[in-house]
A = this chain, B = another copy of it.
């Protein structure tokens, strides 16, 4: 079974750059990749926060959060 990768973003320029490069570079054989726009899906902010996400863009690999550069704090999306 492939592992889970969730890329959280908010449509900001830093987010788009990270999505186009980092999220796109993930091996789709190893990971099922989901891209979540937290500005459009505010109900999922709590889920991101529970995974340890503090800012976007962030990539959560099998439950472990990795913040990629800095676009916006999660608090700004609540």
Contact = CB atoms under 8 A, between A and B. Distances in A.
Interface string A1-37: 0000100000000000110011001111111000000
A interface, size bucket: 20 to 34
A69 interface: yes
Contacts of A27: 25-29
Interface of A: 5, 17-18, 21-22, 25-31, 59, 61-62, 64, 66-70
10 contacts: A18-B66, A21-B64, A22-B61, A25-B31, A26-B27, A27-B27, A27-B28, A66-B68, A66-B69, A67-B68
Which 7 A-B pairs rank lowest in CB-CB distance, beginning with the nearest? A27-B27, A21-B61, A25-B26, A66-B68, A67-B69, A22-B66, A66-B69
